[in-house]
Each structure stands twice: as C-alpha cells, then as structure tokens.
C-alpha cells in the first residue's frame, strides 16, 4: 500500500511486481477486506493510462482459473 501512496513510483515496475502479489491475494485471501482495498487501488491506478502506455488491467482475475 505504501508503493501506491508514495511520491515516486514507476507504474510499469509497480504493475509488474503487483501481478505476483495479486495472484497470491486472489488465491489465498479472496474475501479479505484488505485484499479488496489493494485491488481497488491497483485498479484505479491502471484505469488512468500514463501517456497511453498502460492499458486498463482487470486485476481481480489475475491468477484465477
């Protein structure tokens, strides 16, 4: 969560690392409030493309069958 709120963030790097965490959270803690908060923040970040480089990402289904 600190990575989302920090002043300096590299969105491509953050998204790359977040995919691993998203997969684990969806597999192990799919119904936890903190998981929902994390996924909501990640989704909000990816909904606003940085100079049209990042496409919106449906983070809730990463790692899901």
pLDDT digits (tens, 9 = 90+) for 7-17: 666 777 777 78
Residue 55 confidence (pLDDT) above 50? no
Asked if residues 7 and 46 have their Cβ atoms less than 8 Å apart, the reply is no
Task: Output the pLDDT for position 27.
Answer: 92
Continuous segment of H or E residues that includes residue 40: helix 33-47
Higher pLDDT, residue 59 or 5: 5
Asked if residues 37 and 29 have their Cβ atoms less than 8 Å apart, the reply is no
Structure tokens at 11: 């969105």
- pTM for the full predicted model: 0.58
Residue 20's alpha-carbon distances to 1, 2, 9, in angstroms, are: 15, 17, 17
Q: What is the C-alpha separation between 28 and 47, in angstroms, rounded?
A: 25
Each residue's pLDDT tens digit, 7-52: 666 777 777 788 888 899 999 999 999 999 988 888 887 776 554 4
């Amino acid at each position: 969560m600190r990575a989302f709120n920090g002043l300096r963030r590299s969105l491509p790097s953050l998204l790359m690392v977040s995919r691993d965490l998203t997969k684990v959270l969806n597999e192990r803690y799919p119904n936890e409030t903190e998981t929902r908060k994390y996924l909501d923040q990640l989704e909000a970040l990816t909904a606003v493309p940085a100079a049209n480089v990042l496409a919106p990402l449906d983070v809730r289904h990463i790692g899901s069958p």
